[in-house]
Amino acid sequence: MSSLIDYRSKSVTGLRGTIEVPGDKSISHRSIIFGSLANGMSEINGFLEGEDSLATLNAFRDLGVVIEGPQDGRLVIHGVGLYGLSAPKGDIYLGNSGTSMRLITGLLSAQPFRSRLVGDESLSGRPMRRVTDPLSDMGAVIEITEKGTPPVDIFGTSKLTRINYLLPVASAQLKSSLILAAMYARGLSTIEEPVITRDHTERMMSAFGCGITSNVSGCIKIEGGKDYRGTRIDVPGDISSAAFFIVAALICPNSNITICNVGINPTRIGILNILEKMGADIEVINERHDLFEPTADLKVRYSTLKGIKIPKNQISLAIDEFPIIFIAAACASGETILRGAEELKVKESDRIESMAKGLETLGIQTTVYDDGIKIIGGEIGSGTVNSNHDHRIAMAFSIAAIRSSGEVLIEDCKNVATSFPNFIDLAKEVGMRIDSEVR
């Protein structure tokens, strides 16, 4: 039986320093996928060496792609072309990575061989029908459990048909899965979003020279069967990881930190928009727009936050950052209300319930809705909370302890390695008091 890792986190006064967070997880996944499907060599720098993105890397090695590295975030991928993947010798294990599972399902549905995708206990409970149903409409043959969860058995076919599809939910994973399948379909496929979601797939395909167009209204067109060539990708720092340090500085008196080289893709900056509406002092400096993804440095100072009603048009732009936004809300004056965020209930955990239980344990009043939560700011106490196998829940409560009256013990933090393997080291670098222990 594998050991468990817990965090012990304590209050501090004043965070200082300049740091750089690891590479963006979403972009790291996609760099492996498109580098593998390109003709020729691709060089990736800034790749996130976390368990989730390494799961994607190992999956493509299982599919016959030669990948050198990672070494200090650098990879060299020897692409096999659109039609060069090989049948895996066994099950493809994807650990805890929902992104890997959903995107690779779309890709493998169009390959001329059979494959099986499996994951850990948490991933094995994640819903897959929203992906497999439209893929089936394209002609894919996929089997999942009666509950609609992994493992995923894919009986690949080279005869997928084009699709004209309006996404029923705002989901970048669903969108990207269908885009990958459409790359192999005959003719022009159209995918429309009800709300704009992160567009890393579209940007990266454009960087590689793939046959894709998109517009500001969320209409994406993909021409099937188009080859493309390898390129160089520089992965910026992950704003989802930076978010923990942004909130840490905002809620800790006498704090002033700078986070360098953070991706500020317009489809990912909901966290900045929401926090600034709450009164946050966040300065965006040194903006660079010469790469396929815009980047900047973020200067963050302690701020007196106020509760707000979170705008619905920001939800899809901050979908992964809500656990730490809830901590900011707990430290703000007044009420913060989030509605229309049903997607949070099907992440690594039910993030609404998980955060509500932990906040209540620490003395913060909450009201849970079917699609959101109300949080009344107050004094954070000490106590023991459980992450429910969710890396973002674990890190969020580690940050909450900055304002606690005593120690906060966060149970089951092993999955932090999926997205942020050096989280504690960086936290200590700016002055936080977080320690891990094995039990």
By CB neighbour count within 10 A (0-12 exposed, 13-18 middle, 19+ buried), where does 301 fall?
A: middle
Whether 413 contacts 423, CB under 8 Å: no
Q: What is the CA radius of gyration of the chain?
A: 21
Helix (H, G, I), strand (E, B) or coil at 326: helix
Of 378, 276, 373, 304, which Cα lies nearest the Cα of 334?
378
> Is the Cβ–Cβ distance between 149 and 190 less than 8 Å?
no
Strand arrangement, sheet containing 39-45: 66-71, 74-80, 39-45, 232-234
Is residue 419 within 8 Å of residue 52, measured between CB atoms? yes
The CA distance from 12 to 404, in Å, is 9
Cβ–Cβ < 8 Å for 233, 204: yes
- CA atoms within a 13 Å half-sphere pointing along the CA-CB vector of 318: 25
Please list the active-site residues.
320
Q: DSSP per residue over 89-146, as a string? A: SS-EE-TT-HHHHHHHHHHHTTSSSEEEEE--TTGGGS--HHHHHHHHHTT-EEE--T
CB 209 within 8 A of CB 249: no
Structure tokens that stand for 114 in this block: 């059979």
Pick from 233, 258, 299: nearest CA to 41: 233
